[in-house]
Structures are given as C-alpha cells and as structure tokens.
C-alpha cells in the first residue's frame, strides 16, 4: 500500500474540450432518502453537481420532492411512488452512473429497489450508508457486486459487511479479501481513508481534516465519486479523485471554519480544490 | 454569418432614465414546471429578475407554488388549477413578454395551454424545452409562429423540429429555412450558439464556456431573453443581448468554479456581466 | 417642501444603550399574504428584522407558514385560520407597531381584518398595497385613519385613494389635502418619493436609484417603516429614516448589481446604510 | 462573583486529535418547535452544528420536518407523531446531550415529553424557553433537576421560576439559592449574562453586544451549550465556552451589521470566534 498525497492528481482527471456538452459531463442519479432523512440526499446531489456532472437526478420518496427542489434548482427530481421511502423496480435508462444509499432507510421497499439495481444496473454503481447496511443483511447479494461497484463504508458499516476486525491490519486484510472475492472497489472512510481495488492493491488517502468528522461528510463523498464515474473516469481514477478532492476540499473549508465546518462547506469548497490542482 | 464577440453590445441595450418605474422595466411571465421538474422554472424566473425585469410572474402547477415562493421572494406566483401540471386557457393580460416551456412536461393539459398561447398571445414569446417538444409533435402549429416568436432549442430539440441534420452546414441551412418559412427567430444552443433571424441572417455567439454544459443553463437563457423582450428591446437586440450576456456570465462564473459551475452561478454573474460592459 | 438628502439623518435615529433588551428594539407584526403572493410578506418581514426590530411577527394564511419559516428562522409566524388568506378578528396584544397589506389580496376576509385593525389597533400602523386598495374601495373607512397611520401608496394606489391627478402639482396638492383631512402621514412612492405629514408639510426624498423599480421594493419599505415605528421613533422620524435608508440601501445595492438589483439585495444593504451614516 | 472576559477560554476547550471521528464530536438532540414556531429549532440546531457537534438530531412536530430539512441538510430530523407539537415518550438512546424547549409551546403533550425527559434522561440537559415555562408551572418537577441540568432563562422566565425579584442583588441571591437547592447550573441571560453554578459561585459574562437583543439569540445559545456538552466538556466549561463565544460571535457579527444583526448572523460568526481564540 502507499499514501496518496495528490501527486499527479491533475493528470487523473479527464479533460473536456471546448465543444463538450451536457452529455459529456455525464448523467448520474442518486437514490435514497426517507422521511426525516432527506438531507443526506441533498448533500450527495449537491456534491455531484459541484463535482461537474452535466445532469444530476435524485430519486427520493414523495416527502423529499419539495425539499430537494427548493434547495437545488439544478436537480431533476424523480419521485418514488411512495410517500416516505424509495422502492419498487428500477427503470431509469441512460444513466452513466448511479449512487445508492444516502438516508435511504432499511425498509422492505428500499431493499427491493436495491436488489433490483444490483441485478440489473450495469453501469458504475456506488453503494453507501443504508445500501451497505441492507447489503450486509443479505450476504447472498454479495455475488451481485463486481468491477463496476464501489462501496463506501465507514468503520461500523465495514464490520457489518466483513465481520468484526481485531485491529487495523486485520481491517486491511479483510478489505483486500473482500475486494478480491467480489471484484469490487472499497473505500473505507476514516481519518486516513483506505481505498482497496479489486486486484487487492491498497491506497491510504493523505488529504483531509479531523473537522470533517461530522454528519453528511460521507454523503458528499458519495456524490463526488458518483459524479466522476458518470463523467466517464475509469473506476480507479474516479475513486482516487473523489476521495482526494473530498479530503482536500474539507481541508480548505476547515482552515477557516475549524470545528464549525459542516458538510455543505465541503461541497462549496470542491471547486476551490479543482482550481488549486488546476483541474479543468 | 458572422461571429458576435460583444462588439457594440452596450449600445444594443435600452437606457433607463432616473424616473423609470416598474412598468418601464417590464412585466413578464414564465410558464412551465411539472411534478419533479420545478427547478427549471426557478432558474428561468430568477434569471429574468437578475436580467432586470420589473415584475416577474411564474405560472406553475400547484406543487410548485411553495417551492418558488420559498426560493424567490420577489416572484409573483400564479398557480395552475392542476396539482402537477400547467394547463387550461391562457388569461394573463398586460404581459410584455412570455417564456414558455421550462420543466413543463408534455401532458395534454400543457399542450392545450401552449396551443392557446400560440393562437392568442400577441406579444414577444420565447419557446423552450418541452414547449419545443410539443411543437415538434404538432407540426400544424408551426404556422402559429411568427415575428414575435423566439425558439431556443438545443441540438436534439432542433432536430425534432426540423428533422435529422447531416452535418453542421445542413443544420445552418435548415435553421435558415425554418426561420424564413415561419418568420421566427431561432437560437440553436451549443458551444457556439447559432442565432438565425427571420430574414435568414445568422450569427454565431462567441461568448461562453464549456463549463456551462450542465442542467439548467438553458433555462437561464430563456429567462434572460424573455426579460429583455419584456423590457421593450426589439427582438434582434433582446436575442443578441440575452445570448451574449448568458455566455459571458457563464465565463465569469466558471473562471472561479470551473466544472463545478452550476446554473445558479450563471444567474448570480449576470449583473457582473452588465457591469463589465457598462450596461446601465 | 424641501428635498431631504440625509442631512442630520443620524440624529433622527434613536440611540440604544448597552443594557437594551429585545423589548426596547420593539415588537412588530406584519399582516398580509395570500395564495401565490407570500413573497411580499417575506420581504417586508425580513426588512423589519434587518432594520433592527427585536421581535418580528408575521400573520399570514396557512399556505404561507412553511414558506416564511423556511426562509426566515428569526420570524415568529402567526397562522391565519384560513388556508389561502388572512381574515377574521385582530387579537394580538402587545405590539409596538403594525404593518398591513403586502400580498394580502382583496378578499372579504382580508377586508374584515383590515377594518377591525383600523377600528381597534391604537398603535402606529402602516398601510400598504392591498390594504390601500381595500381602503380606497371603502371610503367610509378614511375617517378611521389618524395621526398614528402611515400610508405608502405608489402612484396608482394613490390615485385610487384620492382620484385621478392632472399633474405632479395636483398630486402634491391632493396629498396635502388628504393628510390634513385625515390627520395621517402619506408616503407617495416614486423616483423622488414624496412624504406628506398631517400638518401639510411635504418632503421629497433624494436617495434612491432607478434600479429599485422592481417587484418587492415597496414591501421592503413597509417593513422598514414599521420597524422604526416599533422601535419607538416618533412618526416623522420613522418615516424619514425609513424612506431615506430604503433609498440609500437601494443605491448601495445597485451600484454593484445595476438593473440586476432585486428587492432582497436592498434588504441585505440596510445594515451597510446604517454603517455609512453611523447609525448605532 | 467575577467578570469573565475570555481569559483562558482557549484552554477550557477540548482538543481533538487527527483521528477523531463523528462520535468524538458528539451526538446531540434538540427538542422543540410547534406550529408557527419552528424557526427557534432551526436556529438552535444550526448553532449546534456550527459549534462543532458531530451529529445533530432535531425532534420536532411533523409540520416542522420539511422546514428543517430544507434549511439544514446536515440535520437528522426525528418527527414527532403529532402534526403541530412534540409529545409522548422520550426514547432516543445514545445521545451525548439534549437541549429542550425552543419554540416548543406549552401544550399537554409537550409537557408530558418534558416530564419524561426530566425523569429518564441521565445525560447533560439544557432547558430553555417553553421548557422553563412548563417547569415553572410544575414546581414539583424542580427536584428532577440536578448536576447535569443547565437552565437558560431570560429575565421573565427566571422570575417565573423563582418569583419576582426586587432588584439585581435579589436576582443574584435567588439564582444562587436555586442552584444550590437543586444542584443545577443556571444561565440568566441579559446584557451581562450571569452564570450560577451548583456550588453557588457566580460569573458575569463580559462578551456581547446590545445588538444581540433580538429574536432567536437565546435559541442560538441553547444550541451552543448543548453542543459543547455533547462534545464531552464538563458542565462548567461547556457553559463558559457557550456563553462567552455566543457573546463574542454576536460582537463580531454586529460590528458590521449593528442593529441589523439577526440571530443567524451570530451563528455564522461562531467559527470566527473560534478562530479568534485559536480554538481547534
């Protein structure tokens, strides 16, 4: 493994030319939210927009439609047929990437939707939060993961997926085995986020700040990685760029706000991080 | 055709004197929105306000009333009689210009309202988004276009209107024929937006940035052109000023935000573009 | 009459000492709003807060409660018993000033409430917008005006109150007669707002900008005058301070935003105007 | 007693190390809100986030859910089972601190919830606003206070708790007796806020500005003290840090906004106060 301090990050980004259009910047969807937990979807969606997606859709329960539209005019909102949770079949053609889980809850309907996505969505897919919790409740779904899947657990979600870990070395080993077994990529969030690729290679991210340890920080990461995937990055670059700029944006935001930093501050700092590393 | 790089843009703007009142700055209405697609109306309406309209009305479905009022206090909201779509008869006297289409959907009720507007509204009229899609579904409505109509399609909407285009020269030719046949003005949005006037003259706009290729950018343009029309600009000047400042505001916004630029950033940059070109 | 250019404005303001509390800064209420026209109440209420009121209440229809609370956390919202309009009896003890009319509509219920206020509220009272329109529909209510009443019509509302005016001199004369007859103060809004006091003295305000001629500008003035009245200013000073700082805040806002200036920009500039004139 | 002017404030703060996570920064809940009075909860919750809490929950009536989620994406919202008030049993395990009262109203259901909290919640507890009013209506609940309880009355709420006070010395004496009797800490808000500890020691806070005397200022303090308690501060330090930074943030905000300062300005200035005193 090695520590990634951003060396060469600029080159990992796609360049866009003068005649790029919305389609080139990608069409992504975030799926999640439940009654009282819509904020997570607000942050993931806003982060995807700030990361550069051309079109961002949010699939949320009906109770979230007005909330999202009031806060983010640029967002296309796809209402669930249910008032308080997402659910049912997945039928959204033409998406370049999908991020599932923020604030989604663990209800049966949400579970059914996740299962449907795992079986049928073939593009790049990010699983976070309750999508991970539902996954660990249904270990027979693990085989539906694959090279197009990125999991972004924090420590507790990770242990639900792979079982209790004795120490940090055990965690690293379990992450490596998990990714090799299921062919997926895994972002284990923490003070030094650990990225594990399907071939077992591991990278610690060096950017970030202790002041990012607050509610919504993870939702922002989900939106960022989903956005880069939708912009056509190969998975390795999408994950490295997402994790690194997330941490760096958090450093920029917290240099002024310290422990008063909130997740929306990180979102607003994303473009500053792009500017800092001369990302086009 | 020629490239318009803003030379003489200041002179194309109306001057307002010290004793101008709300009426002089015009009274415009935006019509559109549907369940889950209210954000487009938020952006068009906010853009019209920032472009200088004295009074901006938004006619939206009931589900959009609270969303618009929460976000834009200056907006007068005219609720549709329907919960999730606009529709019915058009009866709004005293408007100086009308912009129709953002987020409107293609339902029968919306179609009926558009048809009614095309037949009965005699002032300057901007058609965008689903208004264009409905129009291309009803080619017998083309004859209702005229010298007061401005169409703002992107490439796909354009081809729905005029049929598939072989290449860029074909597009230019088809745009010229369309405008000559129907006596209207057409803004074909793209990296270099092409404006075609009723007499067949064509102008490529030189301002803009690839980072404007994201959701809502077109809605902002609709609001800007509608606003200038409502301020009493002749159509040629309204279109040139709208397209040019839209692009220039996008340049200003994206110089700091790069691919993190979102449509509301463009709106906020409109006054900076006015200041840059010393527009009063 | 004379032109007021702000000379001595600082001295017209109340001073507050170190041990002032919420009560000293006053307790005011704005009354108005109707379905689709809640924005006017948002602006009047926000303006009252920015002008310095200790506590601001807004009495609005039920459809406005969520809108106001989402946008202005500092506001205390008093819901009408009706969904789409205010109405009924007035029963709000302990108010230092009351502003009535923004977005209120002209329904029977709103009319009944206004009538009740005119008969029973004894503190300083500002009437604007639909409150003025209702008043001109009921000339027998004119006798309920008095030394505690401030009317803030624009030109059309003024002519509804006093009849058509031949020219500017006629307007001045009719304003003087109206204020002498009914013992009230009148602010005739325009490029140079004309203030008429009960004794017939008249003052033209010299601050302001043509770019303030847009929707909501008048609602902001209503909030400002109501706020100063609630802070315990005598009526003459409240009116002069309200009108002058409103215009000056508009100048400050529009120096950067020009015709892109919207009413909420004026609100945000109020504290800058206080700072500029060293108002404590 | 002595005046606290911030000497040594930096040392009273907890340090957080590089590997801190959300849990270290604490998990707090604010409880309150009622129909028309949701803004108080918005301000208390936002203040808790800006003060550094890792996770902030708000328990509010159903009518407040959308309002809070639209305004504060980082907030986890826990809906009451009732539309217009909180109520019922308290069952929220795992909280590091609890703040009760902002905008809560004095209904029977809210009273039942407060009583349940007083009897069963064992962590640090802040009581404000209507929680104090309910408490003074039920003097037999005083014995449920204790060393983990902080009361934050303004003058009127204080007199409801302890009876009328003849003068300032009487107030100091009654506060000392109250805190000794019930083993709690009390913050008597005013121009120089008086803090009384369970041992009877008293401290006057020297920070603050007369321009903080406006609606919502107290709600901000509630959120700040609750946040520090949840971050694991001992009660004395949480109270001193909360009261001092609240006043100092108000000074920073009002230096620019003067009497136009509103409570959300204080919230936005909290991180600046941390930076000024080099709080990590």
Q: What is the pLDDT of residues A44-63, one digit of tens each?
A: 999 999 999 999 999 999 99
- Work out the average pLDDT over C32-52: 98
Of B22, B70, B270, nearest to C214 by CB-CB distance is B22
**pLDDT band, very low/low/confident/very high, at B89 (cuts 50, 70, 90):** confident
Residue D76 β-bridge partners: D57
Whether B65 sits inside 8 A of C35 (CB atoms) is: yes
- Work out the average pLDDT over A9-32: 91
What is the model's pLDDT at position A19?
80
d(CA B64, CA B80): 9
Which residues lie below 8 Å from residue C162, measured CB to CB, with a gap of 6+? C174, C175, C177, C178
What is the model's pLDDT at position A280?
83
Using an 8 Å CB-CB cutoff, list residues of chain A that contact chain B: 16-22, 24-25, 49-56, 65-66, 69-70, 72-79, 270-271, 274-275, 279-280
Which chain D residues are Cβ-neighbours of A64 within 8 angstroms?
69
d(CA D245, CA B148): 60
d(CA B74, CA B76): 7
Which residues lie below 8 Å from residue A140, measured CB to CB, with a gap of 6+? none
* Phi (first) and psi of residue B163, to 5 degrees: 95, 165
- Work out the average pLDDT over C73-94: 93
**Sheet bearing B97-100, strands edge to edge:** B2-4, B202-205, B194-196, B185-188, B149-151, B125-127, B97-100, B27-31, B55-60, B76-79
Provide the sign of the torsion angle of the four alpha carbons C170, C105, C64, C124, taken in this order: positive
What is the model's pLDDT at position B22?
79
Q: How many CB atoms lie within 10 A of CB C237?
A: 18
Residue of D84, D83, D115, D94 whose CA lies nearest to D29: D94
Chain C closest CA to D192's CA: distance in Å?
8
Which chain C residues are Cβ-neighbours of D35 within 8 angstroms?
65, 79
What is the model's pLDDT at position A1?
80
Whether residue D24 is predicted with pLDDT greater than 90 in this model: the reply is no
What is the model's pLDDT at position C1?
80
List, for residues B101-113, the tens digit of each pLDDT value.
999 999 999 999 9
Whether residue B18 is predicted with pLDDT greater than 90 in this model: the reply is no
Range name among A109-113, D15-19, D85-89 with the lowest pLDDT average: D15-19
What is the model's pLDDT at position D59?
98
What is the model's pLDDT at position D196?
98
Is B277 within 8 Å of B6 (Cβ atoms)?
yes
Whether residue B20 is predicted with pLDDT greater than 90 in this model: the reply is no
Q: Tell me which chain C residue has its CA closest to the CA of residue B17.
A: C210
What is the model's pLDDT at position A41?
98
List, for residues A1-16, the tens digit of each pLDDT value.
889 999 999 999 999 8
Burial B3-20 (b: 16+ CB within 10 A, else e): ebebeebeebbbebeeeb
What is the model's pLDDT at position C274?
96
Whether A49 sits inside 8 A of B190 (CB atoms) is: no
Residue A55 belongs to what H/E stretch? Answer: strand A55-60
Whether residue A92 is predicted with pLDDT greater than 90 in this model: the reply is no
List, for residues C212-262, the tens digit of each pLDDT value.
999 999 999 999 999 999 999 999 999 999 999 999 999 999 999 999 999
List Cα–Cα distances, B251 to A212, B182, B207, B218, in angstroms.
31, 33, 7, 15
Whether residue B280 is predicted with pLDDT greater than 90 in this model: the reply is no
Whether residue C91 is predicted with pLDDT greater than 90 in this model: the reply is no
Whether D258 sits inside 8 A of C270 (CB atoms) is: no
Helix (H, G, I), strand (E, B) or coil at A145: coil
**pLDDT band, very low/low/confident/very high, at B251 (cuts 50, 70, 90):** very high
Whether residue D22 is predicted with pLDDT greater than 90 in this model: the reply is no
Q: How many CB atoms lie within 10 A of CB D2?
A: 9
SS percent in chain D: helix, strand, coil, step 5: 50, 15, 40
- Work out the average pLDDT over D147-169: 97
Which chain C residues are Cβ-neighbours of D46 within 8 angstroms?
73
Whether residue D194 is predicted with pLDDT greater than 90 in this model: the reply is yes
List, for residues A163-222, the tens digit of each pLDDT value.
999 999 999 999 999 999 999 999 999 989 999 999 999 999 999 999 999 999 999 999
- Work out the average pLDDT over C18-29: 88
Q: Tell me which chain B residue has its CA closest to the CA of residue A70.
A: B67
Chain B closest CA to C208's CA: distance in Å?
9
β-pairing, B194-196 vs B185-188, is antiparallel
List, for residues D204-215, the tens digit of each pLDDT value.
999 999 999 999
Q: Residue D108, exposed/middle/buried by CB under 10 A (0-12, 13-18, 19+)?
A: exposed
DSSP string, A65-129: HHHHHHH-TT-EEEE-SSSSB--S----TT-SEEEE-TT----HHHHHHHHHHHHH--S-EEE-T
**pLDDT band, very low/low/confident/very high, at D263 (cuts 50, 70, 90):** very high
- Work out the average pLDDT over A256-264: 96
d(CA D5, CA A185): 53
The 3 state secondary structure assigned to chain B is CEEECCCCHHHHCCCCCCCCCCCCCCEEEEECCECCCCHHHHHHHHHHHHHCCCEEEEEECHHHHHHHHHHCCCCEEEECCCCCECCCCCCCCCCCEEEECCCCCCCHHHHHHHHHHHHHCCCCEEECCHHHHHHHHCHHHHHHCCCCEEECCCHHHHHHHHCCCCCHHHHHHHHHHHHHHHCCEEEECCCCCEEECCCCCEEEECCCCHHHCCCCHHHHHHHHHHHHHHCCCCHHHHHHHHHHHHHHHHHHHHHHHHHHCCHHHHHHHHHHHHHHCCCC
Whether B37 sits inside 8 A of A72 (CB atoms) is: no
Chain B closest CA to A8's CA: distance in Å?
19
Which chain B residues are Cβ-neighbours of C71 within 8 angstroms?
70, 73
Q: Tell me which chain A residue has its CA closest to the CA of residue B255.
A: A275
d(CA C108, CA C89): 12
Range name among A103-117, A262-276, B174-188, D81-95 with the lowest pLDDT average: D81-95
Length reported for chain B: 280
**pLDDT band, very low/low/confident/very high, at C118 (cuts 50, 70, 90):** very high
What is the model's pLDDT at position B76?
97
The beta strand positions in chain C, using DSSP E, are 2-4, 27-31, 55-60, 76-79, 97-100, 125-127, 149-151, 185-188, 194-196, 202-205
Which chain A residues are Cβ-neighbours of B264 within 8 angstroms?
73-74
Which residues lie below 8 Å from residue D23, measured CB to CB, with a gap of 6+? D54
Which chain A residues are Cβ-neighbours of B38 within 8 angstroms?
69
What is the model's pLDDT at position B2?
87
Complex ipTM over 0.85:
yes
How does the average pLDDT of chain B come out, rounded? 96
Q: Tell me which chain D residue has its CA closest to the CA of residue C224.
A: D260
d(CA C153, CA D39): 32
What is the model's pLDDT at position A218?
98
What percentage of chain C reaches a pLDDT higher than 90? 93
Helix (H, G, I), strand (E, B) or coil at D259: helix
Whether B73 sits inside 8 A of C42 (CB atoms) is: yes
d(CA A211, CA C88): 52
**pLDDT band, very low/low/confident/very high, at A73 (cuts 50, 70, 90):** very high
Cα dihedral C126→C131→C135→C136 (10° resolution) = 110
Residue of D78, D85, D17, D26 whose CA lies nearest to D52: D26
């Amino acid at each position: 493994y090695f520590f990634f301090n951003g060396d060469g990050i600029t080159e990992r980004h796609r360049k866009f030319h003068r005649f790029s259009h919305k389609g080139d910047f990608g069409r992504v969807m975030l799926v999640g939210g439940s009654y009282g937990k819509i904020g997570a979807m607000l942050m993931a969606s806003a982060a995807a927009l700030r990361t550069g997606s051309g079109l961002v859709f949010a699939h949320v329960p009906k109770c979230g439609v007005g909330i999202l539209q009031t806060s983010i005019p640029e967002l296309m909102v796809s209402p669930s047929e249910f008032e308080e949770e997402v659910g049912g079949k997945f039928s959204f053609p033409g998406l370049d990437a999908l991020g599932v889980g923020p604030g989604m809850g663990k209800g049966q309907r949400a579970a059914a939707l996740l299962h449907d996505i795992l079986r049928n969505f073939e593009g790049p897919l990010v699983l976070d939060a309750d999508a991970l919790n539902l996954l660990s409740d249904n270990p027979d779904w693990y085989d539906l993961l694959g090279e197009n899947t990125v999991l972004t657990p924090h420590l507790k979600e990770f242990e639900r997926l792979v079982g209790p870990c004795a120490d940090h070395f055990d965690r690293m080993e379990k992450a490596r085995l998990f990714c090799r077994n299921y062919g997926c990529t895994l972002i284990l969030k923490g003070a030094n986020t650990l990225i594990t690729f399907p071939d077992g290679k591991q990278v610690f991210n060096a950017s970030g700040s202790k002041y990012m340890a607050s509610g919504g920080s993870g939702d922002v990461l989900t939106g960022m990685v989903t956005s880069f995937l939708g912009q056509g990055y190969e998975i390795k670059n999408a994950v490295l760029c997402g994790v690194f700029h997330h941490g760096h944006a958090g450093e920029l935001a917290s240099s002024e706000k310290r422990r008063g930093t909130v997740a929306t501050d990180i979102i607003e700092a994303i473009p500053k991080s792009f500017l800092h590393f001369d990302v086009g």
